[in-house]
A and B are shown apart, each in its own frame.
Chain A
């Protein structure tokens, strides 16, 4: 019997990047190849995992039924495991009809990766092949649900996101062990201390040299080159690049002032809490 470390984030906030870096610590000899996927901390919404834990065919269940069964699935996975389990999560940390989606009794810890929501909107628009307007609307929609994209296999179950700040609040204010908060922008500016802090929190053994090596292996340019050479299936739409820009602040040119204002009006409080300054004068 053990439990989970949830590596959680709103989509397009650096979750994949962090997991790639952690993989370098956990499995230092593993190399990417064609269609390299992360290979560490598979998604908690993976249909096959949930089906195996519950002995079911997930497509025979409604969204609400499946959601209510997921806590039992995680308990069963934890009961069968002999070492800590790591899972990527995009779900908000909500209650289901059968209690918390991520049961506290099998939660060892949560790493929450957060990114400026204005940049998230830009990144999501590219990733999902949608307009900036639609991406901004999604970030502001308290009923947003992440579903498999059209034209992609439906290998994950539906994930309730809520809005951007609702998502952050659900993880940051969850009872139990306080989560390990990681800002994408900090990871970008100086990844080594961030990676070291996450690894300590999540019980991943490491030395300074390991951290340095993991940082080198997952520099954005390196990941980008690897994607160009081998491809990287991160679930992006069509032929879009997964590792696209790796920069902060793109929203300043990619979003129009009304879109910025909409995000700031909806999420200003959480942005301030997380250290993201408004870019739009209060009047706009």
Chain B
């Protein structure tokens, strides 16, 4: 239902394009849900006026760092490093507030995701939270169904919502973990369950700093070639993986209360600086012992594997984007037949290191 509010309030937000303001349509039609105030405000508004004093939007007192962004958050987000950079205005604001059940003018209506024609996204995890993401990927409103301090809310903020933010900000998220090897970053990509986080944890044990777990963010427009932005210093691991890697699990927080998956802090082994992407290793299950263990991918085949491992490729398409660009990676892209049986992890690590050291 369109209302006169459209005309009265203007809805100036906001595609942040080279300093120009692009008029957008409103996204909320339900008469009983107030339009979030930030939808009417230009980026930078909060820095100009200080703390928002609306009753239904909580302030964002926590200053965090994510992918080089200054994040002002109403949620504590303890997984993220504190912001220690300059006094810039927040690049991303995360607030608590009401999120409407339905967006207006839906372009995409999926089970958990709605995308309005103006690009606003609404993502909902039943019984956890709803998330409203502005079209530019600069503001998120979180409407929790759990107490706001519940770690569950951050878990989904840092997965699907984070993926949306990356796409909206022109970055390419890979479904990959990422560690520093030499002077560059190596990404281990593959579908869920393939062992990406386990591989990163094993590299950490061998002294390699971690840049990302599960979502590796690429800036393909960096002047010197593709660059990886570090995300946050923790790995999410199943408890049996900790046992397998002889990592003590005492005191580790569960990622969600009902999951036997814990957050392993890696503050001592986190690379907080962006690094050039030197190689991508696409993991696939080892079928037979005579599988080629490590195979260089070139041309269309390399593009196809990258397509497999773009983070939530369906989501990318639903956001109206396509990723057919193959980043030029000095160390190449590789298919790794990754064994999950005894010795499989060590064999993959040895082969990967051999490739990067020769």
Contacts and interface: CB of A to CB of B under 8 A. Distances in A.
Contacts of A151: 340-342
Nearest to B311: A57
B157 to A, nearest CB: 11
Contacts of B159: 56-57, 60
A82 interface: no
Most buried by B among A52, A56, A76: A56
Question: Chain B interface mostly helix, strand, loop or mixed?
Answer: loop
Given A35-B288, A60-B256, A52 B314 contact: yes
B311 to A, nearest CB: 9
B285 A54 contact: no
B340 A153 contact: yes
Contacts of B160: 55-57
Nearest to A63: B258
A217 interface: no
Contact of A47 (B192, B195, B256): B192
Contacts, number: 93
B312 interface: yes
Interface string A50-81: 01111111111010110011001101100000
A154 interface: yes
- Size category of the B interface is 35 or more
Contacts of B46: none
Interface stretch (B106-114, B297-305, B350-358): B106-114
B102 to A, nearest CB: 16
A62 B194 contact: no
B155 A153 contact: no
A233 interface: yes
Contacts of A212: none
Given A62-B259, A151-B341, A52 B312 contact: yes
Contacts of B318: 55
A59 B285 CA distance: 18
Contacts of B291: 34-35
A277 interface: no
Nearest to A73: B111
B322 to A, nearest CB: 15
Contacts of A58: 192
A58 B160 CA distance: 11
B155 A155 contact: no
Given A35-B288, A60-B156, A55 B312 contact: yes
Contacts of A55: 110, 112-113, 123, 160, 312, 314-315, 318
Interface residues of A, number: 33
Most buried by B among A69, A75, A153: A153
Contacts of B239: none
Contacts of A34: 287-288, 291
Contacts of B236: 59
A153 B285 CA distance: 7
Nearest to B290: A231
A153 B110 CA distance: 28
Contacts of B155: 60
Most buried by A among B126, B192, B338: B192
Most buried by B among A60, A155, A238: A60
Contact of B111 (A57, A72, A239): A72
B313 interface: yes
Nearest to A47: B192
A148 interface: yes
B231 interface: no
Contacts of A155: 191-194, 285
A199 interface: no
B255 interface: yes
B159 to A, nearest CB: 5
B111 A76 contact: yes
A153 B195 contact: yes
A96 interface: no
Interface string B248-287: 0000000110110100000000000000000000000101
A152 interface: yes
B219 interface: no
A48 interface: yes
B214 interface: yes
A47 to B, nearest CB: 5
Complex A-B, nearest 10 residue pairs according to Cβ-Cβ distance, in ascending order: A154-B193, A35-B287, A72-B111, A231-B288, A233-B287, A52-B314, A151-B341, A62-B258, A57-B159, A55-B113
Given A34-B288, A62-B258, A65-B258, 15 more contacts: A48-B192, A54-B111, A55-B112, A55-B160, A55-B312, A57-B160, A59-B192, A60-B255, A60-B259, A62-B259, A72-B111, A153-B194, A155-B194, A233-B285, A233-B287
Interface of B: 110-113, 123, 125-126, 155-156, 159-160, 191-195, 214, 236, 255-256, 258-259, 261, 285, 287-291, 312-315, 318, 338, 340-342
22 contacts: A34-B287, A35-B287, A35-B291, A47-B191, A47-B193, A48-B191, A51-B192, A55-B113, A55-B315, A57-B192, A57-B214, A59-B192, A59-B261, A60-B156, A65-B126, A69-B126, A75-B111, A76-B111, A148-B193, A151-B340, A153-B340, A155-B191
